[in-house]
Amino acid sequence: MSGTLDLLLKERIVAIVRGLEGESADRAAEALVNGGIRLVEVTMNTPGALKTIAGWREKFDGRAAIGAGTVLDLQMAKEAAAAGAMYLISPNLDEEVIAFGAERGLSVWPGVMTPTEIVRAWKAGAEAVKVFPMASLGVEYLKEIRAPLDHIPMIATGGVDLTTIRSYFEAGATAVGIGSKLLNREWIKAGDFERLTDNARRYVEIVRSLN
């Protein structure tokens, strides 16, 4: 088991940063880390993603683990690793990316939906899987697939907010991926980063109350 997987199992929240760049992205990430978020994923389809990953690896060293999201193929995995990504997350299952992660000692958490994809990812060497899109699949779906596959750590991504987060964990999620509910664009635009911190803290407190 890798140290990154240990962190995922302990902290149970991955913040998803998509489409934010520059100073506002830096300040938003700082706000989340101040609120107790310890895993931050920068999606590869964010402008300047590689630069952001490299910068945040240095900026948040020892405070948060920075990973790359929306890693669709081997080439993107190589670019993300070169930039310093500590783990790779995908919306899809690509065995080449998993194999690359194993070579480099990087956790890879691929996107899956069906039981067949979940088992394929696990057999290929994924330490955990990202069940996506949960907003469409729903909590009951997660509960059903967890029953026969409860040995595989699952990150539920999509549809998680302050009112639903408990239900995802009750259904068997190992962790959750959260994007816009942690990174409210209006608050960021208004420069209200303290509100981001307070909001992040509420998510973290809920997760800690479950342990």
Residues with Cβ within 8 Å of 192's Cβ and at least 6 positions away in sequence, in order, are none
- List active site positions: 41, 130
Give percent of the chain above pLDDT 90: 98
Cα 132 to Cα 39, 55, 56, 161: the distances in Å are 18, 28, 26, 15
pLDDT digits (tens, 9 = 90+) for 176-201: 999 999 999 999 999 999 999 999 99
Prediction pTM value: 0.97
CATH architecture assigned to 3-204: Alpha-Beta Barrel (3.20)
pLDDT digits (tens, 9 = 90+) for 130-181: 999 999 999 999 999 999 999 999 999 999 999 999 999 999 999 999 999 9
